[in-house]
Structure 1
Amino acid sequence: MASLSDSVKLPCGLVFPNRLVKAAMAEMLAGFQNIPTPSLINVYDQWAKGDWGAVLTGNVQVDVNHLGNPFDVALSGEYTDAETNKDLFEKYRKYAEVSQAHGTPTIAQLCHPGRQSPRPAGRRGVFASTIAPSPLPLDMGDGFVQRWLGWFAFPPPREMTQADIDTVTRQFVDAARLMADAGFSGIELHGAHGYLIDQFLNPKSNVRTDAYGGSAANRAKFVLDILQQTRAVVPSHFCIGIKFNSADHTSSSFEDTMTQIGLLADAGIDFIEISGGSYEDPKMFTAGQQQPQPEKSARTAAREAFFLEFAAAVRTRYPSLILMLTGGFRSRAGAHYALSQNACDLVGIGRPAAIDPHFSKLLLDDSIEESEAQLKLNKIPLPFWAKMIPLAAIGAGAESTYYTGQIQRIAKGLKTIVPL
């Protein structure tokens, strides 16, 4: 059976020294200038010492006008080259240097939130619209309170014009060139969790009738254009991966989903990270809590991976793809189980890495008994007022905020707090 300590070579030639990847999480440490700050770099200095196979950064937004939260790292304008944009280049060079100081490849996650950009997040103004493939607002629920809170938090989007699409495509490519010039080992396009790329891929949020809508292939055109144009401007050894949503896809759209994955594979994607959920249905935080999977094995480890069945289906269709599975892993046993099912090549670890930045060492150390190679994390209790609001995103937000707080404690050199 595959071992967690095995190295993994990507199609571009980049080698991950083991199979454990620190997954992307929101740090909220970029300040009001939305730049890599000393506090942010302090956190990555700790993760760099954790013996991870790779480290994925939190969101690097490609447009400072559209952020997932007010303190995301983001590009504030066009990037030309290291000489023209010296200050910008130097900030990211330091970020990449510290993150990889101990030999761990670091992959920058590039994102545009589209219609999931909250009103206070970004420099477009609180009353300005967001952008999306189609002018469909977020559906936070049918009740009056849910609809009002959805409108209050997220302005209705306007449909992107061809000029908008061309601009955002260029922003992704600019950001990728900056990451390559700065020394990062690669990028991951955020095509999950309901963000803009996912909005184009998903027929629920993309009802366009032009070249970007309709068929599965047309809905994939936006991300495929980004991928193709990025490949043309970065070194051949520079990794390009994608985070891909599984939770939005039903049995009726399964073939469309597999078609899109096949198009990404044909386009030369280096790896696909399987995740899931969106602000409307935050399975990336709650899959194991709201809808526990029926026990399919005597081993509790079988229930750790939220999206294992989908990953296994992708593996069957596209056996040569490098797959990363993220969501729910807490133990060596759980990671071993996913590998034993041939569902993935890489195991993404999120929240445990926010509590222990060196968690990978625990899982890789064979001298530690399997029963001890784990980190138990209880559900974050909601404040009393939150329990009165029928909105799934409230619970997901509480989970995310708690672990972001732990990341910020790491940045300050403080001891993290395990939720009890």
Structure 2
Amino acid sequence: MTKLFTPIEFDNVQLKNRIVMSPMCMYSCVEQNGKITPFHETHYISRAVGQAGLIMTEATAVVPEGRISHEDLGIWNDSHIDGLKRLNEQIHSYGAKTGIQLAHAGRKARLDSDIFAPSALAFNDSSKTPAEMAKADIDYTIEAFKDAARRTKEAGFDIIEIHGAHGYLVNQFLSPLTNKRNDEYGGSKENRYRFLSQVIEAVKTIWSGPLFVRISIDEYDSNGNTLNDILFFAGQMKQQGVDLIDCSSGGVVPASIKRYPGYQLKRCETIKQEIPIATGAVGLITTGIQAEEILQNDRADLVLIGRALLRNPYWPKAAADELNETLPALNQYERGWK
């Protein structure tokens, strides 16, 4: 059997294959209340029907002011639990596991309300300038991640991913480009890691299942985090019991990024080999052959598929056909599966 379709287990949660639906914002909460809509149900459940092993929700805000936009999903209130629970029940019925990406946008929030960040630096000339977070704001936000973990558990998710990439709040604390603080949360890499460390600790007081963290492994700026900084963060995460690092890149500051198939893989592979810790590969992975090469050569443990799954909810079937692999079909679809 190909490795792409070999099961893998994280902390007693077994995925039936290594294909993950990557978190992708849908900006579809039309009532701006953060609640699941019929669109979200169709969107996520169809990818479970298509046989992805893990369905990961889009960035789901732990506080209202942590949304990227007013149309984002939320988990800041107990009223969000029922919709997420209903979604999980449906996804699970098709044999997939579920993950939620807990998120806070920080200075990249595009909201009418006040926004917050480690330092009062706007993302660009057209962005709002955030308020610098006081210690009370930091404590409140860490508690919000903890409360979100409780709701995640009550909603029936299998995996939590903390969003520490793409220039959002956790990434803003990690990066010297965005963190200009002079207290215990700024300056050295140890201090810049402190916020993420405390978020992980808080989540783990509630959550005993698999814990992933997505980080930007390259900031495309010579004054940003170095590879050594990233390896330090990865090592700290391993010590704290993080199960997998989801290796994306960019988004911290405006940058021109040369994208090509597998453009984020080198550092993903380096983290996996040097720490070592399980990693997820993401970024222009579009074919089964490409995904299999990554896994067979031990460059990552999971492949996260984004745009290709937007184009084709049945991407796992297309990948299986490429690799001459047999992928079971739902009874309803057997006539068209062969």
> TM-score when scaled to structure 2?
0.89
Rg larger for: 1
Q: Check whether the contact 2:102–2:145 (CA below 8 A) recurs between aligned residues.
A: yes
Question: Which residue of the partner structure matches residue 266 of structure 2?
Answer: 309
Give the match's secondary structure for 1:357: coil
Q: How far apart, in 2, do the equivalents of 1:287 and 1:189 lie?
A: 26
Closer/same/farther in 2, CA of residues 112 and 5 from structure 1, 3 Å limit:
same
Q: Quote how far apart the aligned CAs of 1:262 are.
A: 0.4
**What amino acid maps onto 1:134 in structure 2?**
S
* Contact map agreement 1:96 1:182 (CA 8 A) in 2: yes
Query: Where in structure 2 are there 5+ consecutive unaligned residues?
Result: 326-338
Distance apart, 1:179 and its partner CA: 0.9
Larger CA deviation: 159-168 vs 271-280: 271-280
- SS of 1:65's equivalent? helix
- Determine if the alignment matches structure 1 residue 132 to structure 2 residue 117: yes
Task: Report the counterpart of residue 382 of structure 1 in structure 2.
Answer: none
For residues 355 and 366 of structure 1, the distance between their equivalents in structure 2, rounded to whole angstroms, comes to 17
Distance change in 2, residues 1:277/1:361 (3 Å): same
Aligned match of 1:213 in 186, 193, 214?
186
| Matched residue, 1:107 | 99
- The letter of the residue matching 2:219 is D
- Number of aligned positions between the proteins: 322
Shift of 1:163: 0.5
Helix, strand or coil for the counterpart of 2:29? coil
Partner of 1:266: 239
Q: Secondary structure at the match of 2:65?
A: coil
Contact 2:120/2:130 (8 A) holds in 1: yes
CA 1:211 to 1:249, structure 2 compared with 1: closer, same or farther past 3 Å? farther
Q: Distance in 2 between matches of 1:250 and 1:264?
A: 23
Question: Given residue 243 of structure 1, which amino acid in structure 2 is its aligned partner?
Answer: R
Partner of 2:292: 336
Shift of 1:282: 6.1
Residue number among 143, 153, 158 corresponding to 1:170 in the alignment: 143
Q: Flag the 1:3–1:208 CA change in 2: closer, same or farther, 3 A.
A: same
Residue of structure 1 aligned with 2:306, choices 350, 353, 356:
350
Q: Quick check: 2:60–2:103 contact (8 Å CA) kept in 1? A: yes
On the 8 A contact 1:180/1:186 being kept in 2, the answer is no
What secondary structure does 1:230 align onto?
Answer: helix
| TM-score (normalizing by structure 1) | 0.72
Find out whether 1:88 has 2:80 as its counterpart: yes
Measure, in 1, the Cα distance between the counterparts of 2:136 and 2:93.
40
For the residue of structure 2 that corresponds to 1:4, the secondary structure is: helix
Q: Per-residue CA shift, 1:306-330, capped at 9, x if unaligned?
A: 21111121122123x1110111111
The aligned residue for residue 43 of structure 2 is 43
* Residues 364/34 of structure 1: CA separation in 2 closer, same or farther (3 Å cut): same
Instruction: Let me know the Cα RMSD of the aligned residues.
Output: 2.1
**Per the alignment, in what secondary structure is the counterpart of residue 177 of structure 2?**
coil
Equivalent pair of 2:2/2:323 in contact (CA under 8 Å): no
Aligned pairs for 1:137-176 (under 5 A) are: 137-138=122-123, 140=124, 147=125, 150=126, 154-176=127-149
**Partner Cα distance (1:103, 1:340) in 2:** 24
Equivalent position of 2:281 in the other structure: 325
Deviation of 1:48 (Å)? 1.4
Could you tell me how far 1:115 is from its partner in structure 2?
0.2
CA distance in 1, matches of 2:297, 2:181: 38
In structure 1, stretches of 5+ residues that fail to align are: 78-84, 141-146, 293-303, 370-420
Q: Which amino acid aligns with 2:317?
A: K
2:15 matched to which residue of 1? 16
> 219, 224, 229: which is aligned to 1:248?
219
3-state secondary structure, aligned to 2:56: strand
**Percent identical:** 28
Q: Report the CA distance between 1:88 and its aligned residue.
A: 3.4
Gap change, CA 1:55 and 1:257, over 3 Å in 2: same
